[in-house]
Each structure stands twice: as C-alpha cells, then as structure tokens.
C-alpha cells in the first residue's frame, strides 16, 4: 500500500539519540530502520507495517519532496464511529463546528473542553479536548460561517 505516513517508534533507550533530530511537521528520509508487522494494540495508521528507529538509523531532514503531501488524513464518517469503539486504529474526522463548552476542571486538576461537530451524514459527535488542547482551543465567534473542524488521530470511547 502506497501512502504518505507510517507508524514509527523509538524505544525508550534510544529516545535521547533522536529527540533533537525529529520535529513534528517536517519530512525526513529514514534509512537503516527495522520494519515489523504493526502492533495490534495501538495503530495510528492503517498500514500493515511499522518502522523502528534503532542505533543504526540515519535521519535526513528534507525541505520538500515533489508531490509529497504536507498533511495526510483518512477521514471516516461520523455514522461509523459506533462500530469503531473497540478498534485499535486512531481515526480522522471532519465536520462542521456546532458548539463548545468552556474549560472544565475535573478531579486531579485535569482540564477538558467539549466540542460538538456534525458531518454530511447529519450525525453529531462530542469531542473532548484535554489539557493544553482544551486551553488553547479558540471558540469560533461567527458560527454562521460554519467553521470546519478537523480532528486527526482520535480514539473512540
């Protein structure tokens, strides 16, 4: 399967080696990685394989690759969320913003904000943002313009 993303993993003992070499949002060419069948308990992508960065891995940042997308999504319809409750895959959803709550503090000082969106199937869903995401979310001031809400790598509870 051809695509623009794959699940990569760095084991704890190798983390220090890669912490300054990898930055979210950039494109890299990785060589000398180990390729394994994807872990079944956590799957951020729908790929059969995943890569492990190891002691031999070479990381080369590139500014741009012709035709390589900056973003990659695998959107699902909201009417399919219920059947994905026990799914190991993380999900990408898109919908029209309906409303959101203020930040709420719950036990142990955790903060959350609820957001409601609707897609073209006319189904609505409540999305919960936690911590810094809840704090940094800017509530749209003009919902008449129907702001679009994109959520990537979401789990379904």
What is the reported pTM? 0.64
- Domains defined for the chain, CATH in brackets: 7-62 (2.40.50.140), 78-154 (2.40.50.140)
Query: Among residues 1, 25, 44, which one has the least CA distance to residue 152?
Result: 44
Examine the pLDDT at 147 and tell me if it is beyond 80: yes
**What's the chain's average pLDDT?**
84
Q: Could you give phi then psi for residue 138, rounded to 5 degrees?
A: -100, 115
Find the mean pLDDT for residues 17-40: 85
DSSP letters for 86-150: T-SB-EEEEEEEEEEPPPEE-GGG-EEEEEEEE-TTS-EEEEEEEHHHHHH----S-GGG--EEE
């Amino acid at each position: 399967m051809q695509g623009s993303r794959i699940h990569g993993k760095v084991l704890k003992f190798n983390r220090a080696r890669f912490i300054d070499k990898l930055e979210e949002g950039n494109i890299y060419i990785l060589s000398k990685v180990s390729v394994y069948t994807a872990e079944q308990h956590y799957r951020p992508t729908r790929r059969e394989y995943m890569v492990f960065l190891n002691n031999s891995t070479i990381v080369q940042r590139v500014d741009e690759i012709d035709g390589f997308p900056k973003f990659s999504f695998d959107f699902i319809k909201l009417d399919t969320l219920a059947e994905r409750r026990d799914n190991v895959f993380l999900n990408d959803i898109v919908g029209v913003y309906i409303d959101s709550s203020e930040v709420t503090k719950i036990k142990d000082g955790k903060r959350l904000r609820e957001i409601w969106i609707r897609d073209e199937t006319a189904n609505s869903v409540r999305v919960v943002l936690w911590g810094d995401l809840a704090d940094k979310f800017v509530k749209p001031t003009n919902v008449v313009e129907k702001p679009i809400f994109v959520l990537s790598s979401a789990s379904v509870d």
